[in-house]
Amino acid sequence: MRPTLQTVADAVGVSRSTVSNAYGRPDQLSPELREKILEAARRIGYAGPNPTARSLRRGRAGAIGVLFTPTLSYAFTDPYAVEFLRGLAETAENHRTGLLLVPLGADDEGALSAVREASVDGFCVYCVPGWYRAMSAALARGLPMVNSEYQGELYVGIDEAAATRAVGEHLTTLGHRRFAVIGTYIGTDPETGPTTVGAPEDLPSYVSRERLRGYRDAFAAAGVPWPDVMTVNAATNTREDGAAAAAYALDRDPHPTALVATTDVLALGALDALRERGLRAGADVSVTGFDDVPAAAGAGLTTVRQPAYERGRIAGELLLDPPDDPARRRVTLDTELVVRPSTGPAPV
């Protein structure tokens, strides 16, 4: 029979609450009595109170639930996700709080159960489309939630459209008029390939919608109507799928003079596709990304720098120590266009 709190109490001749104090409130006991209780527990094989049950009785789970759509390995391999989680983890550590990573995958019953049963004090939403059923399940729990979209009381993000508008203006100033936009969640087909985006505002993904809206507005100001812009969906945010999407665009005749990727990872794949075809970035075809991950500088990639680490750190603070002033619970961070050799004048 599995030993319990009562088993230890009977062995020592004290109450259950005294044994509980030996683990959770040691200041309530003399050092001698606490050691006697712990020694009895070790002898009997009692491992201590269930930490989840104990935290729920206190009304605090001691963990932030991080919701994201890709596989669990994505959190440790995607460079932007790694920096974001590093900032979030640092804040959590300062507050003696842990992180519970909850990958939502295909948004199936398993994902719904994971969200409903997660022992957390709040949720941090990272890269989850609003249409996911798991989002509704998380909202239904009534816990604090910080998002990078304009939903709810707690928000930390950037002006996505303004950032990509700066990219578009940079390229049109260089004379580019033939564009291909490469991104995820920009089409109904999840596979890599061409897609039609009638209007960016119709896209269900907030980040994709806002980034494409910024590109669209910049191109239109230079006389390039949106229907003339090629849009290519990448199945996932990986270098391989970025290369496949770029390959489709580059194999058209005439091919675009500028490939505009919605992330650096996709843009790095586009640079791979250029090299395979003997094309020079910044001379034959310009390439831009978004995020300014560590590999972007080494690749000479023009991109938008956004503060991934800071974004994660602030997300944690908003959840664990929200400001009294509601206006300070919605934070918009600055971005910066970083110009490198991957962009240059449009070829004549």
pLDDT tens, residue order, the chain (348 aa):
678 888 999 999 999 889 888 877 777 889 899 899 989 988 988 877 654 444 444 457 789 999 988 778 888 889 999 999 999 999 999 999 999 999 887 778 888 888 888 889 999 998 887 778 888 888 888 889 999 887 678 999 999 999 999 999 999 999 999 999 999 888 766 666 678 788 899 888 889 999 999 999 999 999 999 999 999 999 889 999 999 999 999 999 999 999 999 999 999 999 999 999 999 999 999 999 999 999 999 999 999 999 999 999 999 999 999 998 988 999 999 999 999 999 999 998
Q: Do domains 63-158 and 160-310+334-338 have the same CATH topology?
A: yes
Give the tokens for residue 190. 């999840």
Angle at 174 between CA 173 and CA 175, to 5 degrees: 90
CATH T-level fold of 63-158: Rossmann fold (3.40.50)
CB neighbours of 81 closer than 8 A, spacing ≥ 6?
A: 68, 74, 75, 126, 127
Count of alpha carbons within 13 angstroms of residue 24, beta-carbon side: 17
H/E element holding 102? strand 98-103
The CATH superfamily label for domain 5-49 reads: lambda repressor-like DNA-binding domains (1.10.260.40)
Three-state SS for 192?
coil
Domain ranges of the chain: 5-49, 63-158, 160-310+334-338
We find that the CATH architecture of domain 160-310+334-338 is: 3-Layer(aba) Sandwich (3.40)
